[in-house]
Amino acid sequence: MNSDSAPFPAIETAGLTKRFGRITAVDSLDLSLPAGRIYGLLGPNGSGKTTLIRLLVGLARPTSGTARVLGVPMPSRPNLARIGYMTQADGIYTELSVWENVRFFAALFGIHDADRLREVLEVVDLADRRNTPTLELSGGMRRRLSLACALVHRPDVLFLDEPTVGIDPALRVQFWDYFRRLAGEGSTLLVSSHVMDEAERCDELLLVLHGRLLAQGSSRSVVERAGATDLEGAFLRLGAAEPGE
Amino acid sequence: MNLRRTFAISRRIASGFRRDHRTVALMFVAPVVILGLLGWVIRDQTPAPTRLSVVNLAGPVGERMADALANAAADAGLEPGPGLADEAAARAALADGGVDLVAILPASLPGDLVAGSPTLRVLSPGLNPTDDATRLATLQRVVAAAASGQVALPSIEREQVFGSADGDFLDAFAPALVGFFAFFLVFILTGISFLRERVGGTLERLLATPIRRSEIVAGYGLGFGLFATIQVAVIMAFSLGHLAVPAIGPLPAFTIGLGIHNAGSPGLAFLVTLLLALGSVNLGIFISTFARTEFQVLQFIPIVIVPQGLLGGIFWPVSSLPDALEPVARVMPLTYAVEGLREVLVKGSDLGSPTLQLDLGVLAAVAVLLVVVATLTIRREVA
């Protein structure tokens, strides 16, 4: 799928709001994100990034407003077959081997093709570790395995919650190269991060603070519009202009 | 319900087990070791020797009776205790362990004999009620034998409706324990396993796939149910089987298996235990909602497991519980499993027995209820 042929945006929200008691984690968010691009979801810790992703994946129900992924209102169980989600925690079974983990998640998507499993392990560079118990993997290898589990069913939309936290720079570069390849193949990626230097690699940025959208656009346009010199400065300026909590 | 997704969950559980040898040992070896130890202790314990002293305070009248008692005691296999002069000496001897039982012929004996109500005072240490009760029963036989100098007492020939006449405590105890082990170990394993799903983020990820909650619960039931099945098979084989191993070289002869007397169909006993284990799997899933760490799962043992072990009829019949506790026992699944297992293994009942029908019905209903409850605790919307 790519943006030209898609009759609707890959990700679309209207007045999307999520409250936990008195705290508003996501505040009347309106988004319309065409397919085939990498979107960077930027914001400090506690700004509502994870809650937004969980609403889009359908793991949480909005207090008000709607979230649509690939045109389907979420939560929708069948639609999850087209969605990939890499959680902030590794979310893999440490008592299983690398191969068993991927095989398990693939089976949940109805994929029983060993070639596809080999292929996805090839992509994350774990093919020669397939029989290693996950417990013996390094932190970076576990992140890679986690990514493989999110990719195994070739999702059209991929949500990645802080995928590069705690991994070394070389692996981070590798991850982003791979994200770019997926976008080139038509997938839509929403990558959350609080590492500003990763923002440069996204096609479009979504700056969120206190659950509200501060700015949207390419890295350069966001910086220019804020009248700042870099993204961090833009964040501070835009954040200061907002009525805080 | 998509069966392949359900099987994927069960297969994942089985794969995890394959690598976790300790857990496998806990499930299969621990119950066998505990039952084996129990069987050994119950069957081969050396009965405490009973040393009986007779204190005669009744003069020449008592002398004859004391002799008769001593002779009858020797015939019954009791050891003679030291000669004691009075009650104070008897108490001192009991206190320092020199004697186990003292029979006192009181000074009022001659008068009582005339009145037709002779009384024998007996002193026992009171440190171990079970030992005391056994010794007292022996003494009663001794007294009866001593008194039967003239009149022949009928001897007792005993026959049981259920079980075998040479059966012991273990025959009634082991069937109940089979149920308890399955219930307890399956609860702990699922509780911790599911807690790790919740805490480790795999449940979050699972719920972001097209799997249904009912498929997760069914997969867990199937995965752990399979292990409960093997576990129950192992425990039953050990409890019911009896394999005599002859002496080889320096090893003395020994037997493997408890050789519990079994009147009924092991298949039915299996069914009872499996229904219980299925309830236990879902109880574990449900309980994991209220725990944040593995340790907190263990904290539910005294709340969920121990009361069922105490009140479920393993040690005392449910009908003899205090009035207030009997209804409590009547809502516990383990109660019905214990009753059902005894019904099958001791009484030899088949499906025609109303008691067994009730037990199976309750266990099935509890399992269904817990499946529903467990499914409801897995929520897509986790706040």
How many residue contacts between A and B have a Cβ separation below 8 Å? 86
Say which range, A195-209, A225-239, B90-104, B211-225, has the weakest mean pLDDT: A225-239
Of B121, B147, B173, the residue at which a domain comes to its end is B147
B383 within a domain of the structure (yes/no): no
Q: What is the ipTM of this complex?
A: 0.86
What φ, ψ does residue B46 adopt, rounded to 5°? -80, 125
From chain B, pick out residues whose CB is under 8 angstroms from the CB of A96: 12, 15-16, 19
pLDDT of residue B228: 84
The rounded Cα A63 to chain-centroid distance in angstroms is 22
Mutation site, A24, A85, A108, A165, interface B, largest B CB count within 10 A: A108
Residues B78, B131, single domain; the answer is yes
Task: Tell if the CB–CB gap between A95 and B16 is shorter than 8 Å.
Answer: yes
Per DSSP, what are the bridge partners of residue B80? B52
Q: Could you tell me the pLDDT band of residue A245, with boundaries at 50, 70 and 90?
A: very low
CA distance A222 to chain B (A): 32
| Min distance B369 CA to chain A CA atoms (Å) | 25
Nearest alpha carbon to residue B189 among B274, B273, B287, B269: B287
> Same domain for B184 and B125?
no
Q: What is the pLDDT of residue A145?
A: 92
Please give the class, per CATH, of domain A11-241: alpha beta
Higher-confidence residue of B163 and B309: namely B309
Chain B contact set for A57 (CB, 8 A): 208
Residue whose C-alpha is closest to residue A234's, from A244, A245, A243, A220:
A220
Residue B67 sits in the same domain as residue B137: yes
Residue type, B230: I
Cβ contact B11–A61 (<8 Å): no
CB-based burial, B174-203: b 16+ in 10 Å, e otherwise: bbbbbbbbbbbbbbbbbbbbbbbbbebbbb
B79 and B217 inside one domain: no
Taking every pair of Cα atoms in chain B, the longest distance, rounded to a whole number of angstroms, is: 95
What pLDDT score does A85 carry? Answer: 93
Q: Would you state the pLDDT for residue A160?
A: 92
Inspect the interface and report whether the beta carbons of A77 and B15 lie closer than 8 Å: no
Tens-digit pLDDT profile for residues A45-103: 888 888 999 999 988 889 999 999 998 898 888 899 999 999 888 889 988 999 999 99
For A228-244, how does the pLDDT look when each residue is reduced to its tens digit (9 = 90+)? 777 778 877 777 766 54
Q: Using the beta-carbon criterion (under 8 Å), do B205 and A133 form an inter-chain contact? A: no
Whether B11 and A104 lie within 8 Å, measured CB to CB: yes
In a domain, B155, yes or no: no
If you average pLDDT over residues B204-218, what whole number do you get?
A: 89
Mutate: best of B10, B13, B205, B207, partner A, most A CBs <10 A: B205
Compute the Cα dihedral for B331, B335, B340, B346 and give only its sign.
negative
The minimum CA-CA distance between A168 and chain B, rounded to whole Å, is 22
Beta bridge partners of A57: none
In the chain, the amino acid numbered B352 is: G
**B275 falls within a domain:** yes
- Of B15, B19, B210, nearest to A109 by CB-CB distance is B210
Q: Which amino acid is located at B217 in the chain?
A: V
Q: How far is B195 from chain A (nearest CA, A)?
A: 13
Contact B135, B100 (CB under 8 A): yes
A93 and B202 within 8 Å at the Cβ level: the answer is: yes
Can you give the CATH number for the domain in which B117 is found? 3.40.1710.10
Residue-averaged pLDDT of chain B: 83
Please indicate, yes or no, whether residues B315 and B354 belong to a single structural domain of this protein: yes
Q: What is the count of structural domains for chain B?
A: 2
3-class DSSP string for chain B: CCHHHHHHHHHHHHHHHHHCHHHHHHHHHHHHHHHHHHHHHHHHCCCCCCEEEEEECCHHHHHHHHHHHHHHHHHCCCEECCCCCCHHHHHHHHHCCCCCEEEEECCCHHHHHHHCCCCCEEECCCCCHHHHHHHHHHHHHHHHHHHCCCCCCCCCCCCCCCCCCCCCHHHHHHHHHHHHHHHHHHHHHHHHHHHHHHHCCHHHHHHCCCCCHHHHHHHHHHHHHHHHHHHHHHHHHHHHCCEEECCECCECCEEECCCCCCCCCHHHHHHHHHHHHHHHHHHHHHHHCCCCCHHHHHCCHHHHHHHHHHHCCCCCCHHHCCCCCHHHHHCCHHHHHHHHHHHHHCCCCCCCCHHHHHHHHHHHHHHHHHHHHHHHHCCCCCC
Convert the pLDDT of each residue in B216-271 to its tens digit: 888 988 888 888 888 888 888 888 877 677 777 777 767 777 777 777 788 888 88
Residue B129 lies in a domain: yes
Same domain? B63 vs B36? no
Q: Is B380's pLDDT higher than 60?
A: no
Give A-chain residues touching B16 at CB under 8 angstroms.
Answer: 93, 95-96
B232, B168: one domain: yes
Give pLDDT, residue B149.
62
Q: Is residue B154 part of a domain?
A: no
pLDDT in tens, B348-376: 888 888 888 999 999 999 999 998 988 88
User: How far is A91 from A104, CA to CA, in rounded Å?
Assistant: 12
A208-212, B62-66, B240-244, B339-343: least confident range: B240-244
Nearest chain A Cα distance for residue B22, angstroms? 12
Give B383's contacts in chain A (Cβ within 8 Å).
Answer: 20, 60
Helix axes A114-123, A98-108, angle to 10 degrees: 120
Per-residue pLDDT tens digits for B291-310 = 888 888 889 999 888 988 88
- Closest Cα in chain A to B7: A107
- Short-list A112, A145, A143, CA closest to A130: A145
Q: Full-prediction pTM beyond 0.90?
A: no
A95 DSSP assignment: T
What is the mean pLDDT of the segment spanning A205-232?
83
- Identify whether B299 is part of a domain: yes
Q: How buried is residue B252: exposed, middle or buried, by Cβ count under 10 Å (0-12/13-18/19+)? A: exposed
Can you give the residue range of the structural domain that contains B202? 3-43+164-377
On whether any CB of chain B is under 8 Å from the CB of A88, the answer is yes
Give percent above pLDDT 70 in chain B. Answer: 91
Residue B382 and residue A81: Cβ atoms within 8 Å? no
Picking from A83, A95, A108, the nearest residue to B19 by CB comes out as A95
Q: What pLDDT does residue A1 have?
A: 45
pLDDT at A6 over 60: no
- Length of chain B, please? 383
Of the partner residues B5, B7, B380, the one whose CB lies closest to the CB of residue A58 = B380
